[in-house]
Amino acid sequence: MSNALLLDTHVFLWFVGDDDALSEKVRHYIRDFDGLVYVSSISLWEIQVKHEIGKLELNTSFEEITDVVAQSGFEHLSFSASHVVGLSSLPQLHKDPFDRALVSQALYEECVLFTADKKILQYECEIIDVRSF
């Protein structure tokens, strides 16, 4: 297994929100992981967009969400030109641009992508389904 994890947006929100959708086993694995745990700038963008259009309610300000990444011990992963290039080789298994960007980052950075999104599970990269972990 890789020495880095990339949290899908919902996994990050479940983790910091102490949501029951994320099992204690997964929560402990993420917390005790002996390597880097990334939250992508793509996830922060997705949170901002979904909050702005009313699809996501936040219990805190958006500005505080960015601070939560560091407070949780996670690292920011910026979206680079190399990640954009990687998108061109991804099969169209998922139409959501945020999720496709996260898959591209996971592939390029050789991270394990933690998700509960069944469409993402179709990609051929190292992915952990948090619902069956």
**Is 117's pLDDT higher than 80?**
yes
Per-chain mean pLDDT for the chain: 93
d(CA 66, CA 103): 21
The 10s digit of each residue's pLDDT in 22-31 is: 999 999 999 9
Q: Select from 113, 69, 75 the least CA-distant residue to 94.
A: 113
Q: Select from 52, 49, 54, 56 the least CA-distant residue to 10.
A: 56
Q: Domains in the chain, start-ordered, CATH in brackets?
A: 4-129 (3.40.50.1010)
What is the edge-to-edge ordering of all strands in the sheet holding 112-115? 75-77, 36-40, 4-7, 112-115, 127-129
The 10s digit of each residue's pLDDT in 39-92 is: 999 999 999 999 999 999 888 887 888 888 989 999 999 999 999 999 898 988
More confident residue, 93 or 41: 41
**Is 4's pLDDT higher than 80?**
yes
How much is the pTM?
0.94
- Contact assessment for residue 75 and residue 37, using Cβ atoms and an 8 Å cutoff: yes
- Contact assessment for residue 8 and residue 26, using Cβ atoms and an 8 Å cutoff: no
